[in-house]
Amino acid sequence: MSRADKEILKHEIKTRVNDAKFNELNKLLNQSSCQNMSELVRHILHERPVIIGQRNQSLDLLTEELSGIRKELRSIGININQITKQFNTFPEKEQKLLQALGAAEQYRVTGNKVDQLLTIITKLSEQWLPK
Q: Specify the pLDDT at position 1.
A: 55
| Sequence-separated (6 or more) residues with CB below 8 Å from residue 79 | 106
Q: Specify the pLDDT at position 117.
A: 87
Q: Specify the pLDDT at position 53.
A: 72
Q: Specify the pLDDT at position 13.
A: 85
Measured CA to CA in angstroms, residue 53 lies from 41, 66, 126, 131 at distances of 17, 23, 21, 24
Q: Specify the pLDDT at position 131.
A: 62
Question: What are the residue ranges in the chain where pLDDT is below 70?
Answer: 1-5, 54-57, 129-131
pLDDT tens digits along 38-48: 888 888 888 88
Q: Specify the pLDDT at position 31.
A: 86
Q: Specify the pLDDT at position 19.
A: 94
